[in-house]
Structure 1
Amino acid sequence: MFKNKSGKVNPDTTDTLIGVGTVLEGTLKSQAGIRIEGTVVGDIVSSGDVIIGESGRAQSNIAARNLMLGGQLDGNAEVTGKLTICATGVLNGNISVGSLIIEAGGAFNGSSKMAAATKQETSAVKQEKPAS
């Protein structure tokens, strides 16, 4: 009755919400996006985006396309796209990211590694540069 007939999951949608007052212990895997307003203790793997809201807490290692951090993450993050640490966000751990944004007030305690740009990203940058 509720099944997606195509069987494909859109990674641009958020299909999982961990609400305020909820504690999840264990590994969380999703092909779509995840929003955390409660607490997760365990690894998080998503083909989409992971959002940790202001009330969200995670003691996790996270692998995702993009990560927006408004709450607290104690653990490592491997993000192929963009990691944004909002003004209320705190990240205690090491990161490997495509790009990193830390808003004023956000905190990052750890080491960072910038992943090499993919060929497609490199081509897009080359095309944007004006000819000299």
Structure 2
Amino acid sequence: MIKKKGNETTATNERNFLSAQTKIKGDISTHGILRIDGIVEGNISVEGRLILGSKAKVQGNIIAESLEVEGILIGDCQIKGTLALKESAVVNGNMAYGNISIDLGAQFTGTSKILSGEQKKV
């Protein structure tokens, strides 16, 4: 769906996908939904939803509206909404989030804190 603001056209609900055979060195910034099944060495910023699939390995910091982790994350994350750690998740870093869901079997090493109402707006 495309929305038009004045002279500027923006896409909503964009979907981006990095397959298991993809390796990226560098930062990623996007809108909408991003699913990663490959390897990323760099920071990720998503104005929307980020999904790290079971084959994903991310080494870098993450800022997103929501994050679902099934793979490996080495780095800090700031999630305005819900952070979901699935059964196969391995996270090594500090987490800040609005809400959290941790499945039995998920592994986490680091610190954890709930964002205040004002921090969620950032």
TM bracket, shorter-chain basis: 0.7 to 0.9
The percent of aligned pairs where both chains have the same amino acid is 29
State how far apart, in whole Å, the 2-side matches of 1:14 and 1:116 are: 28
Tell whether the 8 Å contact from 1:14 to 1:35 is kept in structure 2 after alignment: no
Which residue number in structure 2 is paired with residue 31 of structure 1? 31
Opposite residue 78 of structure 1, the aligned amino acid is: Q
1:14: Cα distance to partner? 4.7
Encode CA deviations 1:42-64: one digit per residue, 9 max, x unaligned. Answer: 00001000000001110010000
After superposition, where does 1:59-98 map in structure 2 within 5 Å?
Answer: 59-98=59-98
* Deviation per residue, 1:36-92 (Å, 9 max, x gap): 000111000010000000011100100000000000000000000000000001110
| Structure 2 alignment gaps of length 5 or more | none
Count of equivalent residues: 113
Q: Which amino acid aligns with 1:97?
A: Y
Bigger CA drift: 60-69 or 13-22?
13-22
1:129 is matched with none
The structure carrying a bigger strand percent of its residues is 2
Aligned Cα RMSD in Å? 1.4
- Alpha carbons 2:14, 2:31 under 8 Å: kept: no
What's the counterpart of residue 11 of structure 2?
9
State the TM-score, normalized to the length of structure 2. Answer: 0.87
Long gaps (5+) in structure 1: 119-132
